[in-house]
Amino acid sequence: MKNRNSLKRHSFLFSFSLVFISLLLVATAQDLLSLENDEGPGLKKPKVNEQILRGIDLIYEREFDDAEDLFRKVIAKSQDKPAGYFYLAMVSWSRLASGFWSPVNVKEFKKRIDRAIEVAEARVDKDGADSYDFFYLGGALGFKGRFELMKGNWASSFFLARDAIAALKICSEMDPDNKDVLLGLGTFDYYTARLSGILKFLTYFLVHEGDIEKGLKKLTVASKEAAYSATEAKTVLLYIYLFGEQDFTKALDLSTELAERYRKNPRFQVLLGVSYIRLEMDPQYREMVSKLRLRSTEASIRVAPMWEKRALYLESIYDLFHGLYPEARSRLRKILDHKDPENDPTMIAWPLVKIGMSYELENNRDEAKKYYDQVLNMENASGAQFVAKKLLESPLKKGEPFIGY
């Protein structure tokens, strides 16, 4: 029974945290040197495109409108190449991942990712396609596969994943020194090795069994050496070490680096706090809570509540791990007393999931289900609907890493 529950949880981990195969190749735009050189990259080593690096940083700092303006300019300069379309789709996905999971944003993402695939396919069907045409095709297919996976469309997701892997492997064969492509290949290696049941069966269609150690090695190389995808590789590794492998020391190193670099992104700040909690570094955890509250006093009127809510949310995670369930609910209800669906929808659905977890951990399954169902009935559940659905299928157990999500 223990092994069966473990396998279920691994499939839960895969279906939720391909982290973000969603953001799969957030960062590989060497093809964009074609904006500066009409010959395209081919096998030449391009100069780092500072414009694209700036756009990537804008996305991680949640400056989505500015990032979108930048990538629209990229498309305007090179309309027949997939890079700009790929990153424009990533802006849409990042909005979804940040909690803005409205029907309008979902529709926009689907339209943009399909356009990125269309442009990339047109490029690879022509003679003289370069390695990054295949790269963007693989990345866009990976995005779409992730989206299908989250909806529970296992078969379509894995056929898309199969095609994504094929494109990424061609990219790697054409340019063996490309370290950016290791993000996608390493992510696939790790998560396909973690599958079980029907999901494991479907991986045979991929002709890709996966390997945990190889996946982690590829992701580590990408995190250190990739020109554009280093940050996303760090993000993927952080989620793996914090919620999968439970190597909290490595998670702390990564969350510290990301939190320091992207100070406007509350998610990295909270994950640093969760790393402290998991390592039982209580003084550092409490200092993190104080820092979040200080940010709320320094921020603008519109942004200040976001930081106070993250402080309460982090405290609720601490409470849940330490069996302080009424205390956790009290903090979470304080968050819900000040809902802001326009600017911070994440702090509506996720606190509801956490309240459900608190009852679940008290062995009050019936009460927990009420909150999970409430999330499923929301118009914008900020991605929490996928976790709520999984929790309805498989009850949460004490000590499970996803308590900290």
Average of per-residue pLDDT across 380-384: 89
Domains 2-241 and 251-404 in one fold: yes
Residue 35 has pLDDT above 50, yes or no: no
Q: Where residue 200 falls among pLDDT bands split at 50, 70, 90?
A: low
* Digit-coded pLDDT (tens) for 101-117: 888 999 999 999 999 99
Q: Please, what is the average pLDDT of the chain?
A: 85
Q: In sequence order, which ranges of 175-207 are alpha helices (DSSP H)?
A: 181-193, 197-203
At 72 the pLDDT is: 94
Distance CA 342, CA 327 (A): 27
CATH architecture label of 2-241 = Alpha Horseshoe (1.25)
Higher pLDDT, 129 or 248: 248
Q: Where are the domains of the chain?
A: 2-241, 251-404
Distance CA 263, CA 26 (A): 19
* Cβ 292 vs Cβ 309: under 8 Å: no
Residue 25 has pLDDT above 50, yes or no: no
Residue 3 has pLDDT above 70, yes or no: no
Nearest to 307 by CA among 321, 290, 319, 320: 290
Burial 64-86 (b: 16+ CB within 10 A, else e): beebbebbeebbeebeebbbbbb
At 197 the pLDDT is: 53
Higher pLDDT, 131 or 86: 86
Residue 80 has pLDDT above 80, yes or no: yes
The count of C-alpha atoms lying within 13 angstroms of the C-alpha of 80, restricted to the half-sphere facing its C-beta, is 9
Distance CA 310, CA 265 (A): 11
Average of per-residue pLDDT across 206-222: 85
- Least-confidence region, from 22-36, 61-75, 101-115, 338-352: 22-36
Average of per-residue pLDDT across 360-381: 95
* Cβ 359 vs Cβ 371: under 8 Å: yes
At 328 the pLDDT is: 98
Residue 204 has pLDDT above 70, yes or no: no
Q: Where residue 203 falls among pLDDT bands split at 50, 70, 90?
A: low
At 26 the pLDDT is: 34
Residue 337 has pLDDT above 90, yes or no: yes
* Digit-coded pLDDT (tens) for 168-187: 899 999 989 888 899 988 98
Distance CA 119, CA 81 (A): 6
Higher pLDDT, 160 or 132: 160
At 276 the pLDDT is: 98
At 286 the pLDDT is: 98
What the block records as the tokens of 50 is 């500072």
Taking the CA atoms of the chain, what radius of gyration do you get in angstroms? 21
* Digit-coded pLDDT (tens) for 143-176: 898 888 777 787 788 789 889 989 989 999 998 9
At 192 the pLDDT is: 80
Distance CA 400, CA 321 (A): 9
* Digit-coded pLDDT (tens) for 279-335: 999 999 999 999 999 999 988 888 899 999 999 999 999 999 999 999 999 999 999
Query: Do you know the residue count of the chain?
Result: 405
Q: Measure the CA angle with vertex 132, ends 129 and 137; round to 5°.
A: 90
What the block records as the tokens of 358 is 């608190």
Q: Which fold has domain 251-404?
A: 1.25.40
Residue 8 has pLDDT above 60, yes or no: no
At 9 the pLDDT is: 39
Average of per-residue pLDDT across 249-257: 98
Q: What is the pTM of this model?
A: 0.85
Residue 211 sits at φ, ψ, to 5 deg, of -155, 120
